[in-house]
Structure 1
Amino acid sequence: MDFTIPARVESLRARITDFVARELIPLESDPAAYDAHENIAHDALAAMREKARAEGLWCLQLAPETGGGGLDKQGMAVCYEAMNRSIFGPVVFNSAAPDDGNMMLLEKVATPAQKARWLAPIVAGEVRSAFAMTEPHPGGGSDPGMIRTSAERIAGGWRITGRKWFITGAAEARHFILIARTSDDARRGLTAFLFHADQPGWRIARRIPIMGPEEHGGHCELVFEGLEVADDAVLMEVGDGLKATQIRLGPARLTHCMRWLGLAERCVEIANAYAAEREGFGVRLADRESVQLMLGDLAMKIEVGRLLVMKAAWALDQGSFARKEISMAKIAVANLLHEAADVGIQINGARGYSKDTVLEWIYRYARQARLVDGADEVHKMVLNRHLAAEGDAFWRWSVDEERP
């Protein structure tokens, strides 16, 4: 098995690593660089984005004809990990959720006219976007089949009513992708629609407060009270909403994991640096076996996470939906991130619990990892379904028939 990466990807990784160390890590210690929700402030973000563009590090996940860098999923795994060594990284490179997943979906399935209207402004960094699928009970969450927001046929288009919540980025988004029910068909009952924030017939009921730092635009509850969209706002075909969610959410779950690996490595880095200089009872923390065990265990788990992510990225690049591989990576890396932040804080003691480092920021952010894009338990059930259906073939290797 070939675990090497192309020279071009290594060059991009090195340039991203240098940019993060030079521009973003120092910014994290400046209180003025943060907005009221503990993300990078808009002025600082705009300045950093211009620098990232100038250095050719913008939208690397998209095709060159879309305005991107042409990375495949394996290349993204390498570069996204490097980006998120800083808590500010992904959004600076226009590779942060939810824009990241929305751009990749639109690039893959939108018509040329839709790409010009809905995708190009996100790629250019002129607008932000949101993906409106999750609903409060009894609506759909991890199970899209429970979606109750409905789209009713009208002359020349559709009228949409219903409610969504925990819609990431909605308060600042201008372009939205909305999943609504257009029939009771189990497989083709959902449709994906596009709409603009300025259109009437919908509103933000509230920005939901959360325990951790927030993405720009927060996590919002939306109410649709007769939003009308034209037929050309249908993404793909009527009834293709479930397919659209599958196309979007699989890779999006994996890109979360790619970024979380970078944060986990940052936690180890901060813990290592402190353990090397901090002494207690005449012994450096780094020389204590208990600390060595914690850091060695984390190093191993990070590498396990990297291998799971890279295998899933490879499967996606081969044209697979990679459902098993993505679920395994999502469970492992989400739990790893939480553990890495926890161990980092433990080794740093009171310093780790303070805001003198970004460990507490990462710790609060990390708890959502086991919930977003499917809770751990949902992904474990997915794996069990595959195990029940495949038996021993669950662990089969992909075979290259052209190799002897």
Structure 2
Amino acid sequence: MDFSLPPPIEEFRRRVRAFVEERILPLEADPASYDAHENIAPALLERLRGEVKAAGLWAPQMPVERGGQGLGIVGMAAAYEEMNRSIFGPVCFNCAAPDDGNMQLLNKVATEAQKERWLQPIVEGKVRSAFAMTEPHPGGGSDPSMMKTRAERKGDRWVISGHKWFITGAGEAQHFILIARTSDDKRKGLTAFLFDKDQPGWEIVRRIPIMGPEEHGGHCELRFDGLEVSDENVLMTVGDGLKATQIRLGPARLTHCMRWTGLSKRAMEIAAAYVRERESFGTTLAGHEGVQWMMGDVAMQIEIGRLLVMKAAWQLDRGDFARKEVSMAKVHVADTLHKAVDTAIQLCGARGYSKDTALEWMYRYARQARLVDGASEVHKMVLARFYMDEGDGFWAWG
């Protein structure tokens, strides 16, 4: 087995790392760099996005003919990890959720006409997007079979009514992918629709307050009351909504893990710099055995997460769905992110709890990791089912 990166990917990774180090990380210490929701301020973001494009690092997950860099999933894993050394990083490269997952879905399954209308503006950074799936009780959350939002055929249009919430990025999105029920069939009852912010028949009820910090556009509650969508804006075919969701969420879960690995490493960088300098009881904190145990454990957990991510990325590049591998990575990396940031705060003491470092930002952000794109408990259920079906084959090589 060769665990080294191919030279072109390694070179791209190094360039991303250098850009983050030189152009993005220094901005975190300036309060003027932040918007009202604790993410990077819009004007600053647009300037940095221009610099990323000029450096040839823009949208690495998209094909070259669409203005991206044409990286596979393994290359994305290496690059995304470097991007999220900064809390501002991924969005500067057009690699942040939900646009990242939406672009990948549209690139895989949309018609050429749909790609020009709905995908290309997102790739170019002209618009933002959102994926509207989750609903309040008794609607669909982790179980899409419970979905209540309906699309009914009327003439040559689909008329949609229903209720969605915690739709990431909806407050600033122009392009939306909406999952709605078109029949009561258990497997083919859902359909994916494309619609524009400016169409009538829907509204943002509120931007839901969260622990924060927030992605651009927040997490919104939406109401649909007569939104009309034509057949040309059905994604895939009628009844393929569950399939579209599965195509999107598998790789999207893994890209979360790629980014969270970078953020975990950054937390430990902050802690390591502090314990090297801070003295206590006659030596630096780094000289204490208890501190070494804490740091060594987190370093090991981060490396385990990276290996899980890379194995899943390798399988996805080979055309496998890698469902159990993605679930394992999602559970482990989400736990590791929280552990890494919590440990870093403990090691930095009051300074870690203050806003003098990015650690308190990361701590609030990290708590969502065990919830988004499937709660950890749901993924463990998935793994249990795989094990019961496969037995010892669960651990097969290749």
TM-score (norm. length: structure 2): 0.99
SS for the counterpart of 1:224 is strand
For 2:73 and 2:173, locate their aligned partners in 1 and report how far apart those are by CA, in whole Å. 26
Are positions 1:151 and 2:151 aligned together? Answer: yes
CA deviations over 1:158-213 (Å, ceiling 9, x no partner): 00000000000000000000000000001000000000000000000110000120
Deviation for aligned residue 1:281:
2.3
Deviation for aligned residue 1:134:
0.4
For 1:396 and 1:17, locate their aligned partners in 2 and report how far apart those are by CA, in whole Å. 35
Query: Which residue matches 1:386?
Result: 386
SS for the counterpart of 1:173 is coil
Which amino acid in the other structure matches residue 49 of structure 1? Answer: R
> What are the within-5 Å matches in structure 2 for residues 53-92 of structure 1?
53-92=53-92
RMSD: 0.5
Which amino acid in the other structure matches residue 259 of structure 1? Answer: R
SS for the counterpart of 2:174 is strand
Which amino acid in the other structure matches residue 374 of structure 2? Answer: G
Do the aligned residues in 2 keep the contact of 1:66 with 1:107 (CA within 8 Å)? Answer: no
Deviation for aligned residue 1:2:
1.6
Select between 168-177 and 141-150 the one with higher mean Cα deviation: 141-150
Query: Which residue matches 1:255?
Result: 255
For 1:47 and 1:73, locate their aligned partners in 2 and report how far apart those are by CA, in whole Å. 27
Deviation for aligned residue 1:321:
1.1
Query: Which residue matches 1:283?
Result: 283
Query: Which residue matches 1:334?
Result: 334
Deviation for aligned residue 1:72:
0.5
Are positions 1:294 and 2:294 aligned together? Answer: yes
Deviation for aligned residue 1:119:
0.4
CA deviations over 1:320-371 (Å, ceiling 9, x no partner): 1111000000000000000000000000000000000000000000000000
Give the total of aligned pairs.
398
Query: Which residue matches 1:401?
Result: none
> What are the within-5 Å matches in structure 2 for residues 49-128 of structure 1?
49-128=49-128
Query: Which residue matches 1:235?
Result: 235
Which amino acid in the other structure matches residue 64 of structure 2? Answer: P
SS for the counterpart of 1:158 is strand
> What are the within-5 Å matches in structure 2 for residues 171-190 of structure 1?
171-190=171-190
Do the aligned residues in 2 keep the contact of 1:207 with 1:220 (CA within 8 Å)? Answer: yes
For 2:156 and 2:119, locate their aligned partners in 1 and report how far apart those are by CA, in whole Å. 23
Which amino acid in the other structure matches residue 369 of structure 1? Answer: A
For 1:157 and 1:247, locate their aligned partners in 2 and report how far apart those are by CA, in whole Å. 25
For 1:187 and 1:352, locate their aligned partners in 2 and report how far apart those are by CA, in whole Å. 48
SS for the counterpart of 2:158 is strand
Identity %: 70
SS for the counterpart of 1:58 is coil
Do the aligned residues in 2 keep the contact of 1:260 with 1:337 (CA within 8 Å)? Answer: yes
For 2:208 and 2:283, locate their aligned partners in 1 and report how far apart those are by CA, in whole Å. 46
For 1:113 and 1:201, locate their aligned partners in 2 and report how far apart those are by CA, in whole Å. 24
Deviation for aligned residue 1:381:
0.1
Which amino acid in the other structure matches residue 198 of structure 2? Answer: D
For 1:315 and 1:136, locate their aligned partners in 2 and report how far apart those are by CA, in whole Å. 34
Q: Please list every run of 5 or more consecutive structure 2 residues that lacks an aligned counterpart in the other structure.
A: none
Are positions 1:373 and 2:361 aligned together? Answer: no
SS for the counterpart of 1:363 is helix
